Amino acid sequence: MSRSITVGGAQLGPIARNESRQVVVGRLLELMREAHGRGCDLVTFPELALTSFFPRWWLDDEDELDSFFEREMPSAATRPLFELAVDLGIGFYLGYAELVEEEGRKRRFNSAVLVDKSGQIVGKYRKVHLPGHADNRPHFPFQHLEKLYFEVGDLGFGTWRTMGGVMGMCICNDRRWPETYRVLSLKGAELVLLGYNTPSTIPWDPTYDDQASFHNHLVMQAGAYQNGTWVVGVAKAGDEEGCNLIGGSAIVAPSGEIVALCSSKDDELISAACDLDICVRNKDAMFSFEAHRRIEHYGVITGQTGVTPPE
């Protein structure tokens, strides 16, 4: 009998700067109900799914900055998600901005939780690869201040055996780095869940603007294929406060093929039945790390470029 689980990707259209948590959570609840209607075991929401993508703004006022963060999960505002998940018997991945008081100071992370069908948080991930800059660049139409507002995640890339498979999590820019998928796969991941907010233009480095959507799928498809995993990549999409976010949310099979793809830049659900035994097969054959991977023969890496210095 194959181990098949049905997974949903709940893309979100834009979230306005002043949109309340209550309104946003209402949108998520609607998508969760739709996912249940389609027989999903699990639904994936985007990165920072509860607010507008606030790192695009230089925020001087700490209270305003903090207003975009969650101090507890669940909170009064997010509890309805957990309650509906229990009622429907559906798990979920939720990206959000996390604020904790630790070591006598505020610590902020770009985080995601994995919640099982009983409403329990079974896993937490804090984003490792933080893109953008930490300095004020007011001359650009929007900024990307993740390096200022978040600390680098300190939990590593975890995997969790839950809901009939082995789940791994990452967030947005992490998907561009092969190490992310490789580490998750080495830890047994069969499903990599990830949310993203990707602008169609990078004002301070427009080199690859024309390829934004191509690169989005390229990295997820390569990550899936080279590591024998399913990848569920879910966007925030559309014109959010003057910043155009690519959509293109996709469910990618371990073959590297996209099996479900969003067509709008709005709230939209995609779903697919994911046979997790395909992962086992791939990891036993072409991508058996044990049988074929030979890191001890790769040579010593000598620096950023890895070029061996002259004798």
The Cα–Cα gap between 170 and 11 comes to 16
Sites for ligand CDV among residues 8-67 (CB under 6 A):
47
196 touches ligand CDV by CB under 6 A: yes
Q: How far is the CB of 16 from ligand CDV (least distance, A)?
A: 18
Catalytic, out of 40, 70, 98, 127: 127
Q: Which of the ranges 88-96, 171-179, 250-258, 276-284 carries the binding residues for ligand CDV, by CB under 6 A?
A: 171-179
| Stretch (H or E) spanning 240 | strand 238-240
- Pair 74, 92: CB distance under 8 Å: no
Other CB atoms within a 10 A radius of the CB of residue 143 amount to 21
Q: Which of 159, 173, 249, 282 binds ligand CDV (CB under 6 A)?
A: 173
Nearer Cβ to ligand CDV, position 11 or 197?
Answer: 197
176 touches ligand CDV by CB under 6 A: yes
Site string for ligand CDV, 105-144 (x = CB under 6 A): --------------------------xx-----------x
Establish how many alpha carbons lie within 13 A of residue 191's alpha carbon, considering only the half-sphere containing its beta carbon. 32
Q: How far is the CB of 176 from ligand CDV (least distance, A)?
A: 5
Site string for ligand CDV, 198-217 (x = CB under 6 A): x---x---------------
Q: How far is the CB of 28 from ligand CDV (least distance, A)?
A: 19
170 has catalytic annotation: no
Q: Which of the ranges 28-36, 191-199, 256-264, 283-291 carries the binding residues for ligand CDV, by CB under 6 A?
A: 191-199
127 has catalytic annotation: yes
- Pair 12, 46: CB distance under 8 Å: yes
Distances (CA, A) of 238 to 174, 198, 243, 246, 249: 21, 10, 8, 6, 12
Q: How far is the CB of 233 from ligand CDV (least distance, A)?
A: 10
Catalytic, out of 40, 170, 172, 243: 172
172 touches ligand CDV by CB under 6 A: yes
Q: Give strand pairing partners of 269.
A: 10
Distances (CA, A) of 155 to 78, 128, 160, 267: 23, 9, 13, 30
172 has catalytic annotation: yes
- Pair 224, 263: CB distance under 8 Å: no
- Pair 42, 91: CB distance under 8 Å: yes
* Closest of 141, 130, 123, 156 to residue 48, by C-alpha: 130
Positions that interact with ligand CDV (CB under 6 A): 47, 131-132, 144, 172-173, 176, 196-198, 202
- Residues annotated as part of the active site: 47, 127, 172
